[in-house]
Amino acid sequence: MESLSFSQCIRHAWHSAWLAVVRMPVLLLAIAAIYTALNLVPFLFAAAGDDPGMLLLRAVITIAASLVTIAVCGMVIVKVHRFVLLDERTRPVLPARGAPVRRYVLFTLAMSVVIVCVVTVLISLYQISPTGAEALGVLLVYPTVVYILMRLSLLVPAIALGSGFEWKAAWNDSRGHFWSMFGVTVCAYLPLLAVIVCAAFAFAFSAGDRDVSMPVVALVAAVRGVFTVLWLVLASSTLSWLYRRHAQELPRAVTAARGRG
């Protein structure tokens, strides 16, 4: 736990993100290329038939591509966390024989299942009895999900450093810091978010109602891949500095995990 102000966290987050891009450009470009290719997979089946066999194959490949995408994003997140917190560069590409990336994938899948279950239950309740109380519950699910994700977010850099799933430690370390963490995150993301929104509006305006050809789809996917990697770098850098600012129990868990390893 370090004594860092609100503005220092934001400045350090952007500075570390810039250093990560400058010092690991080949790795990040390679991951952006892989992410782009994975996003083009659904378009390869766009002209395929709708027979049951092709639909099943499309579903299987889409699910596999989604899992690989999560793993690829996990590689970026783990590398940036370790760069900011340990000054680790490109090598090794998969630290600890890939254990942090595997844990990140499991963490993402677990949180996704929880969120889907919560949303499904609340929407089902609203459909069964669409009263004001249930409608308010549906509206409150989104801030609730944000709250839970923010409270558990410090676990991600700990996982990148070699910790296991220390849910209680992550919850304890973020206690009383939700608004501070949320504010730093929003303020750090805003400049890049503004660029992404402007780029999306520019493309939508230029494309209009015209049919989009495959080369244009590939170009958009490539730009999206680059922006996604930049977003992951900035998000991971921001979270690393929040970890340095607030984490108390998690660093002990990381040290203990390294001692066992």
* pLDDT mean for each 10 residues of the chain (261 residues): 86 94 93 88 64 74 84 92 91 85 91 80 64 60 85 94 91 94 93 85 68 72 89 95 93 82 59
Picking from 100, 55, 94, 56, the residue whose alpha carbon sits closest to that of residue 261 is 100
Token pair 């579903």 in the structure block, residue? 59
Picking from 53, 17, 68, the residue whose alpha carbon sits closest to that of residue 229 is 17
Give the helix, strand, coil percentages of the chain, each rounded to 5: 85, 0, 15
Token pair 């069964």 in the structure block, residue? 128
Interatomic CA distance for residues 61 and 56, integer angstroms: 9
What's the pTM value of the predicted model, to 2 decimals?
0.86
pLDDT (tens digit per residue) in 62-105: 788 888 888 999 999 999 999 999 988 888 888 888 889 999 99
